[in-house]
Structure 1
């Protein structure tokens, strides 16, 4: 801060008094005034105002030297640099102070000449060590005493000693009757040895009449530097011998800091008027906690000036301001927030599952982060809930920590996406990296999708296919992220969408997307789960007639036979057509619609034929849907014809095995109940497999199938023979 127009913290009156003190104190010896305050407290701002006040005074009577010791290369140059600045200040007095008789001009020239001569004879600072009348407390003696004596002898032979020259210069400065004020900011930021040299210089070399020094520093840090550099036991006592008067920088009021922040933010960032109340709340709540000094405000503003130009229109300003305040003032909490949102994005993409152990570990880490920042959960829980997803403020389970990864706010996800909130998995990374994740879904992507839907199902499928070629850091494709996002958009928002071509496009591309093995969990295509969830949401968003028509079209015309069969199996079990019971809440079709689409699918299976179905990547899903959907007799006849030869029999049996962990053969499982979908008597199938193993080896294909059956039996605590003895045909088998 420099002009008084920016004196936002009321430093002006104090600056006026300091300027008066520096120019009116007794002129016989040098005067040193210290401005003390912690880093970021506003010392530099106060100093700028003091300099402004000094420059407004009579320039023929007051000269200001803004000395910057950290720009000086070494301690020998320190002295020369200071005296160069003093000579320049005296020259400014010459220029501004000539009178009718020229007396002031002559005096100023005389002082400048004496100063140049004195500085020229000083040479390296080491010459001053040990010279009579110029002793510097605490200076290193080793190796410099002889040099000092030799220099003193040389200077004495040429004329006046250094001490005499200093006295001569002092008399000239006193006669000049003008004030030179030397300001030195950030003294505490120098290296300890540089601090010591500077203080010695001010105290013992440049302590001239009519010269005042204004030093700015953090007293605690400066005392430590003095003790380290000089070896004295009490750095405070050392400073008291140098600094005659010390004043503290008054801490700005929280209100003033927040008002300043708001004014500066308005100058470069635009906030949606609907979000202004929330923004002001963040500034008052989080800013009120974190804005302790002017420096803290400046750092947050500087951070926002870096982030906002790149993120404007792509993120929510309220969340960004909140996060940047946290990043600057509470970095440990900020790092936890980034870790949590990264895990949440992976969870939302379906690429990760959060175990209770992981959730507990993250909960422990946030407690540790809060302790590190001097915070408590109760103090900040509502703040976190407003900005982060999955924060549960009502933990009713006393046996485990359920504060994180909760689904209680799922209805808000659509709004989070629409507003590009920090809580949106598609946008959260932007807030940290300035770069969108490769698989993120933007509002433009949704517009493209709806535009494609207006053109037809084929265009939707093509667009989703292109999205599937892009992957993010979590391993998910952009197509997966799109379907996940569709599941988060509020149902009411879908009323005006072209949902029929949109749904058909998703259905028709589903099998192709499922060919990606990296998108499988235990052999199950995750993209199918996402697409199914979306269609079930549509079943509730559309009118009954409109959904019934769409469902009929999906099952009759959907080209992804594997995915459509997956949908059919969901309905088969939900309606209780196969299995141990029904679940009406999980159905997407009414009973009459289900019966209609089930029969349509059975006809599609018959038309396709078993041989063509076996060529499908997800043939097992299709076969189970065919058998469990009422076509078991047709399936059994077709399988019997297909498996007459042993090789074809083993190939089929391997096909219908399911995986329990990956696509590896070592994780196969096959129950007798599953076999019963395709063969009338499962025990006979097992005996045939045992006979084939006896003729070949346990490592053969037949052996692998037997291992899969044994694995399934072991799950019930049985070996394969016990399972055969206990086998009973399912009571409900259509």
Structure 2
């Protein structure tokens, strides 16, 4: 059960305590080094060093040494942590107090006399300003009040009591080990004072100091004019063990093990194994050098991975977390140019030069331009054009979006801000809709469940799947989408700002479903099947003109003869059978304008006795005219009708009769009143030149 609990615990940046935790296989080295200390002569004390950079595992190594110290005959180990007393100006007082206290706790009967002698000795060493060269920690104001005579007496008393401490220590049967760890984390003055303290006390017999520190950090702190820190250190340290660097293979396996532990139990995580090797070797591993780095990455990235594992590609997340943790200055610069990193749009020459100059600043400031370029190549390929002749198009952007990569602005924003932009919320719905596209009823039901104002954006987000739509999904999903156009808010030519065109949103998706079908005859068969199941003339006409050969709108996905055939069938049916539910005809005027003009001088459509059709025809002819006075922000919005088109479709006489009939059935409505204005001869003013 305990082992199970250990597996559930998150990785923590603490040193190991036993050989069972020794994943670096350093226990034999630590035990051998500890054994070698037993063989040293300790008549005048010994100072040894365990050396290595931060995070290399010095504390863990000393803990492994303790296992050997505990072997028979056991050595007493006393720990002194200078961090607890740094900056207190009482380091030596606390050192001796800590030493005597721990000795009493270890074995009062064996060490009680030594502890008493140490307490007596410490009382005459305060203040330590009496000792030449001691630093600011002991620079108490009381020293200014001491007379030369009292100083001499103190020194004489200290010598006597020091001798008593030495005599007591000579009587112990085994040396006492004093461990001082994390010296390299202190400030420069504190490091100097620690080593002066060790130098002061190191000559006591049967004391073995084990000091753990980063050699370069401490040597730099001990440098003084004319005396290099290394020379000073060599006078104090009699034996040193330099910890070997962690092998890359072992560090790598530890990273993978920690990430596996974090990802375990997370359902539906996004992890692109095909990109992981490049990302790891180019962006993650170069930032880490020791086991502490592994723990830092695991600890810091865990919450981000938990939050985003279903939303953002985790390969990207892990890389960005590594940069954030180990190179925060590069991470901050990436944030400052976030818009440039994901932009595939075209720039003017001037703007492109400005963006390139900004990227050059980022590269130069980083101090490692090659690394930052690798970050951009692997995570933000759109920005490669700012330092290489390499560019990407909309197809790549759609692919990055499908893959949930931070190369797409929506997912980079989600990673940085932890708030999904509106476009991303729509794409999430589109992802689910994509899984239902082979089942018309399920797709229709899902779109019904989405808030009305979000459906169009969800449909539009399906464009990202161009090239990925299953062939068996084309007919059912195209039918569902084309039949849904009348349900979508803001129909064509309506709305205050006139910017919503759900019909175009739908047909763009349908065209992207048809376009990857390489065989033209197969496309034409599929188009016929779609048209047979689309309810409204408006949606059928939209599809035909979007994929046919109509000038200015057709994408020519079907042959010209087939396009002409389908157009003719639609025209014949529309002229002979008026729609039974013309309210579903969201683009009625355009359909009948095409029907009356396709064959040249075709006669107007007969609408006699059908006010519902005329009402819907007028509604589809209505739009809004916007005018704005110079110097004013106010916009005047006035309704208008495509009057010439209406006259062409049903003729002015039928228009007059139908509007009169509508007044009887609908009474005074905006639509009736507007039509009557046109019938009276009113026309909107011409646009100013």
TM-score (norm 2): 0.69
> What is the aligned-residue RMSD (CA, Å)?
5.3
Residues 481 and 460 (structure 1 numbering): CA distance in 2 closer, same or farther, change over 3 Å? closer
Q: Is 1:50 aligned with 2:65?
A: yes
CA change 1:114–1:455 in 2 (3 A) is same
1:526/1:567 Cα in 2 relative to 1: closer, same or farther (>3 Å)? same
1:249 Cα shift? 2.7
The structure 2 residue matched to 1:575, chosen from 526, 530, 549, is 549
Equivalent residue number for residue 90 of structure 1:
103
1:594 corresponds to: 567
Aligned to 2:507: 532
Contact 2:79 2:178 in 1 (8 A): yes
| 1:199 match | 195
Question: Could you say what secondary structure the match of 2:76 adopts?
Answer: strand
Question: Secondary structure at 2:465's aligned position in 1?
Answer: coil
Asked if structure 2 preserves the Cα contact closer than 8 Å seen for 1:28 and 1:209, the reply is: yes
Query: Which residue number in structure 1 is paired with residue 292 of structure 2?
Result: 295
Using structure 1 for the length normalisation, give the TM-score.
0.66
* Match for residue 80 of structure 1 among 69, 93, 104: 93
Provide the residue aligned with 1:101 in structure 2.
none
**Does 1:440 pair with 2:390?**
no
| Structure 2: stretches of 5+ with no match in the other structure | 1-14, 606-620, 649-681
Shift of the 332–242 alpha-carbon distance from structure 1 to 2, 3 Å rule, reads: same
Residue 436 of structure 1 deviates from its aligned partner by 4.4
1:181 partnered with 2:186: no
Residue 318 of structure 2: aligned partner: 321
Over 3 Å counting, the alpha-carbon distance change for 1:515 and 1:24 in structure 2 is farther
1:16 maps to what in 2?
Answer: 31
Q: Secondary structure at 1:215's aligned position in 2?
A: strand
Match of 2:249 in 1: 255
Mapped partners of 1:487, 1:268: distance in 2? 31
Give how far 1:492 is off.
Answer: 4.0
2:341–2:380 Cα contact (<8 Å) kept: no
CA distance in 1, matches of 2:273, 2:444: 43
Contact 1:35 1:248 (8 Å CA) reproduced: yes
In structure 2, relative to structure 1, the CA distance for the partners of 1:606 and 1:246 (3 Å cut) is same
Q: Are 1:216 and 2:216 matched, yes or no?
A: no
Secondary structure of 1:47's counterpart equals helix
**Cα pair distance change 1:512/1:427, threshold 3 Å:** same
Pair 1:13–1:449, CA change in 2 (3 A): closer
- Cα displacement (A) at 1:14: 3.7
In 1, Cα distance between equivalents of 2:361 and 2:172: 64
1:70 deviates by 1.4
Q: 1:295 aligns to what SS in structure 2?
A: helix
**Residues 401/116 of structure 1: CA separation in 2 closer, same or farther (3 Å cut):** closer
1:380 shift after superposition: 5.9
Aligned counterpart, 1:163: 159
Q: 1:584 maps to which residue?
A: 556
> 1:449–1:463: 8 Å Cα contact kept in structure 2?
no
**How many angstroms does 1:18 deviate by?**
3.7
Partners of 1:33 and 1:213 within 8 A in 2: yes
Partner of 2:612: none
Q: Do 2:316 and 2:379's aligned partners in 1 also have CA atoms closer than 8 Å?
A: yes
What secondary structure sits across from 2:199 in the alignment? Answer: helix
Aligned-partner Cα distance in 2 for 1:155–1:68:
32
Cα distance, 1:504 vs. partner? 3.3
Taking the aligned partners of 1:483 and 1:575, their CA distance within structure 2 comes to: 24
Partners of 2:225 and 2:257 in 1: how far apart? 47
CA contact (8 A) 1:111 1:176 kept: no
CA drift of 1:258 comes to: 0.7
1:504 aligns to what?
Answer: 482
Partner of 1:110: 113
Match of 1:483 among 460, 474, 482: 460
**Matching of residues 344-493 of structure 1 within 5 Å:** 365-366=358-359, 368-372=361-365, 387-388=379-380, 390=382, 403-407=390-394, 409=396, 412-413=399-400, 417=402, 420-423=404-407, 427-432=411-416, 436-437=420-421, 439-441=424-426, 446-447=431-432, 454-455=440-441, 459=445, 462-466=448-452, 468=454, 479-480=456-457, 482-488=459-465, 490-493=467-470
Cross-structure match for 1:129? 129
Question: 3-state SS of the aligned residue for 1:34?
Answer: strand
- 1:551-578 per-position Cα deviation (integer Å, ceiling 9, x unaligned): 466582558xxxx88777756xx6244x
Q: How many residues align?
A: 605
In structure 2, relative to structure 1, the CA distance for the partners of 1:460 and 1:137 (3 Å cut) is closer
Whether the 8 Å CA contact 1:319–1:387 is kept in 2: the answer is yes
* Structure 1 SS opposite 2:210: strand
CA distance in 1, matches of 2:333, 2:523: 45
Unaligned runs of 5+ in 1: 96-104, 469-477, 638-651, 669-673, 681-700, 711-734
Q: Verify the 8 A CA contact 2:324 2:331 in the aligned structure 1.
A: yes
SS of the residue 1:483 aligns to: helix
Are the equivalent residues in 2 in contact too, given 1:89–1:180 (CA < 8 A)? no
Question: Is the alpha carbon distance of 1:487 and 1:653 closer, same or farther for their aligned partners in structure 2, counting shifts above 3 Å?
Answer: closer
